[in-house]
Amino acid sequence: MPHAPSRAGAAGASDTRTPAQFPDGAREPPGAAAGTALVTGASSGIGAAVARRLSAEGWRLVLNGRDAGRLAETAAHAPAAVFPEDLTRPAAERRLTRFTLDEVGHLDLLVACAGVGWAGDFTTMTRRAFDEVMEVNLLTTLRLVRQVLPHMVEAGSGRVVLVGSLAGAVGVRGEAAYSASKAAVAVFADALRYELRGTGVGVSLVVPGVVDTPFFERRGTPYARTRPRPVAPERVADAVLRAVVRGRDEVYVPGWLRLPVRVRGAAPGLYRRLAAAFG
């Protein structure tokens, strides 16, 4: 049964908030104002960090996640309306959208952070695990965007931020299904951005590498590579805010991860040889 939505704290913008500080030293442009945001996957990890970052900047929040207890913990640090429900349930995206609009009246920002991982040989992956990866990482995101988008288009403003993965840009050994799900999210972001041109609604893709969250613990396989080194989820949250404030189409975290993507695009044969040798 779905959990009952609830209110945790009161969110509101502060007139005395300081400009956003980013790792590169830049500041939020003058006049950039907070608004209302829906964050999925907010129970922990990247989603929880995004919620805290937006809350600190005065955004009014609605948070969604599957774990009601952890979602309440996030809301304790980032006052918000909370809607603890598994978005893979039938029509959950409709209930979440309706709840959000009832709570905040309109929606300026959707940050889709929900995701699950799986590692191992694709031939050993169970049907259940495969379906969960595709459902959570791809289908629930598209369904929710499909519900939210008409309201943004009608208002003539808004932004959708999708959290992808480097695995979706270059492919990762032992993560074929996960890579495929995130690659689909990336292409969806591009296609949707073209479609929405002129509507006032923007689409951003944030592409993190390895992030220090419970993600690997929950998938049952620890992160064993020496490179790239994990980054804190707060860096991804900074990138999300940067994408929103600056209207960026795509942000890599850390920024140097754009390099292997460019190498793959410019010299795919060379990239594949290097990837086969070094993983």
58 has a pLDDT exceeding 50: yes
In the chain, the amino acid numbered 244 is V
Residue 36: is its pLDDT beyond 90? yes
Alpha carbon distance 259, 228 (integer Å): 12
User: CA 63 to CA 108: how far, in whole Å?
Assistant: 14
Residues with active-site annotation: 178
For range 66-74, the mean pLDDT: 95
Q: Is the pLDDT of residue 217 over 80?
A: no
Mean pLDDT, range 2-31, rounded to an integer: 37
Q: Which residues of 22-35 are buried (b: 16+ CB within 10 A; e: fewer)?
A: beeeeebeeeeebb
**Confidence tier at 271 by pLDDT (50, 70, 90):** low
Q: Name which of 20-24, 40-44, 81-85 the model is least confident about.
A: 20-24
Confidence (pTM): 0.82
C-alpha separations of 210 from 89, 179, 216, 236, 256 in Å: 28, 13, 10, 10, 13
Task: For residue 154, name the pLDDT band (cuts at 50, 70, 90).
Answer: very high
